[in-house]
Amino acid sequence: MDASSLHTPVMLERCLELLAPVASRDGAVVVDATLGMGGHAEQLLERHPGLTLVGIDRDPDAIRLAGERLARFGDRIRIVQHVYDELEESLEDAGVDRLDGILFDLGVSSLQLDDAERGFAYSKDAPLDMRMGREGTTAADLVATLDERELSRIMHRYGDERLASRYARAIVRERQERPILTSAHLVDVLDAATPAAARKQGHVAKRVFQALRIVVNDELGVLERAMPNALDALDDGGRIVVMAYQSLEDRIVKHALRDATTDSTPLGVPAALPEHAAPYRLLLRGAEMADEAERARNPRSIPVRLRAAERIGGGA
């Protein structure tokens, strides 16, 4: 399997543009915290011959494919298998002690979506797995063990699913007859529980699969831990670039960057205090989206929201 033929990096040129001022430094170190199949990493290394890049991924398949794709860069590429909130451990394993830039391309990767056996895609029948790595609880485990109330809660909370209660009842009723072990079986259960009028609002399983995937991989918890870790780790002038694909992720990123770019001088103090100055400045006003041409060319870019900031003081 050729990684370059499977993966079209989202907002590639914009990410490269935002990271160029730090990636072009002498002895620069940039982390691709969600390496995937290495599309962004490859272009960063190609365009900046003095750059060392640390690639982090929890998925052993991604580690293998990206390693093959990036092998020609020799010791300029350091790939480590970690969850991306384990930044300190990742840098230690990679043998680097400073950081100029970090890129996050959040959500499920093309590799995981396109591999039917991983169970991420509701359109393909496969074991109901959804783990980005190879350890821990599967989606089938959640469907088999969570009570009706908890199933409803996670579908509503992480999938914004209006039929969450109805679907939770249907799942509990079905699993009493036989276990729900495959994506096709779960889709059939959801489809049978969906009123005709609701079928016009997109695939019946889309939001449920998203919710299960988020919980299986603790995606929001990992992101909430990763953002302050990354902000603390960057040197002065360092840059962080984050692409989020759903509103819950984007809200975490937005709030973390807002806090990092807000002066913390106490209310009532007549002048800003240097020790309370914001350590970061925003590089973009709000979130950027992919342009129309990219959205037409690569449908996976349609929901992306890109945010970026630069450290202006108090570096590590």
Among the listed residues 154, 161, 205, the one whose alpha carbon sits nearest the alpha carbon of residue 184: 205
The amino acid that residue 8 corresponds to is T
Q: In terms of domains, do 306 and 233 share one? A: yes
In-domain check, residue 117: no
Residue 112 is assigned to a ligand binding site: yes
- Give dist(CA 103, CA 260) in Å, integer: 17
pLDDT in tens, 155-210: 999 999 999 999 999 999 999 999 999 999 999 999 999 998 877 676 778 899 99
Radius of gyration of the chain (CA): 21
- What is the Cα–Cα distance from 65 to 84, expressed in whole angstroms? 18
Co-location of 105 and 147 in the same domain: no
| 227 pLDDT above the threshold of 60 | yes
User: CA geometry: angle at 50 spanning 45 and 54, to 5°?
Assistant: 50
Is position 40 annotated in a ligand binding site?
Answer: yes
Q: Tell me if 263 is assigned to a ligand binding site.
A: no
Residues 154 and 98 placed together within one structural domain of the fold:
no
- The reply to whether 38 sits in an annotated binding site is yes
Same domain, 193 and 253: no
105 among the known binding-site residues? yes
- In the chain, the amino acid numbered 17 is E
Q: Do the annotations mark residue 39 as ligand-binding?
A: yes
Residues 6+ away with beta carbon under 8 Å from 257: 227, 240, 242, 280, 282, 307, 309
pLDDT confidence bin for 316, thresholds 50/70/90: very low
Q: Residue 87 sits in a domain of what CATH number?
A: 3.40.50.150
**Does 93 carry a binding-site annotation?**
no
- Confirm whether 225 is domain-assigned: yes
61, 35 contact by CB (below 8 A): no
Domain containing residue 42: 3-111+219-311
Residues 196 and 274 in one domain: no
Angle at alpha carbon of residue 306, lines to 316 and 156, rounded to 5°: 105
Domain count, the chain: 2
Residues 70 and 143 in one domain: no
Give 138-158 pLDDT, tens digit per residue.
999 999 999 999 999 999 999
Same domain, 83 and 32: yes
Is residue 303 domain-shared with residue 160, that is, in the same domain?
A: no
Lowest model confidence (mean pLDDT) among 39-43, 99-103, 125-129, 289-293: 125-129
CATH assignment at residue 151: 1.10.150.170
